[in-house]
Homo-oligomer: A and B are copies of this chain.
Amino acid sequence: MSDTGPADTRRRISLRTTRMEAFSDGVFAIAATLLVLDLTVPAVTSKDVGHQLAEEWPTYLAYLVSFATIGNAWLGHSVITEYLDRADPILLRLNLALLFFVSVLPFPTHMLAEYVSNEGAERIAVTVYGLNLLAISAFIAIIWHYALWQRLVTKDNTEDDVRALTKKLDPSLASYAVVIGLGLWQPKVAVVLYFIIALFMIIPFRAVLQEARRRRRS
């Protein structure tokens, strides 16, 4: 009887992590795919359609940045859950907060695409957009630090990975903060910089090195 107790608890705990992953994967996948609904097809007018499509470039760039940011958040999330041994109720709520900011991203993306031609409106849109990107990165960082603090992660290799993950999370948070400030003055440049941050985060510097180390060991 006392043996089934801990076994059942363990099953429940791992189940909780599994469901957190399944629900999160769902929200990430849907948010990433819903973005496509904002790509409007220009109506066929007397004007050249090819030209019209080319003019829509800010919509396409915003789509690309948002997709890359969500993909990126998913990658960070999967790294965290990779090391996660169990989930506690507070972690589940922090995860919900992250998912809130992921699922709301199509809204500022749409706003950005809509307001790109109007200077005043564009400034607001770019700022809201930047704050949303910052919130996503911030919650990835908060979840990771909370998991470490509460010792919810497995013990092996943690030391190395903490440093490696932090090395990416902290500069990205700082650069989002800087670009949000810059965006008030140069909104179009800010969008391009958000794209560069997304690319920088998505390129697996850490993982490539780690993989190399892993191979050398085995």
Judge whether A162 is part of the interface by a CB distance below 8 angstroms. no
Contacts of A33 in B (CB 8 A): 26-27, 30-31, 34, 103
Chain A interface size, as a band, is 35 or more
Stretch at the interface among A2-10, A137-145, A165-173, A188-196: A2-10
Judge whether A71 is part of the interface by a CB distance below 8 angstroms. yes
Cβ–Cβ contact A89 & B211, under 8 A: yes
- A residues 14-31 near B (Cβ < 8 Å) are 15-16, 19-23, 25-31
State the Cβ distance, A218 to closest chain B Cβ, in Å. Answer: 9
**CB within 8 Å for A16 and B78 given contacts A29-B27, A121-B44, A202-B93:** yes
Contact of A82 among B15, B25, B31 (CB under 8 A): B15
How many protomers of this protein does the assembly include? 4
Judge whether A55 is part of the interface by a CB distance below 8 angstroms. no
Cβ–Cβ contact A39 & B107, under 8 A: yes
* Chain A residues proximal to chain B, CB less than 8 Å: 4-5, 8-9, 12, 15-16, 19-23, 25-37, 39, 41, 43-44, 48-50, 53, 63, 67, 71, 74-75, 78, 81-83, 88-90, 92-93, 96, 99-100, 103-104, 106-107, 110-111, 114-115, 117-118, 120-121, 124, 154, 156-157, 202-204, 206-208, 211
A-B contacts, 21 listed (Cβ < 8 Å) = A16-B78, A19-B25, A21-B22, A22-B22, A26-B28, A26-B30, A27-B32, A29-B29, A29-B30, A31-B33, A31-B36, A34-B34, A34-B36, A36-B104, A37-B37, A39-B107, A49-B120, A49-B124, A50-B120, A71-B100, A89-B206
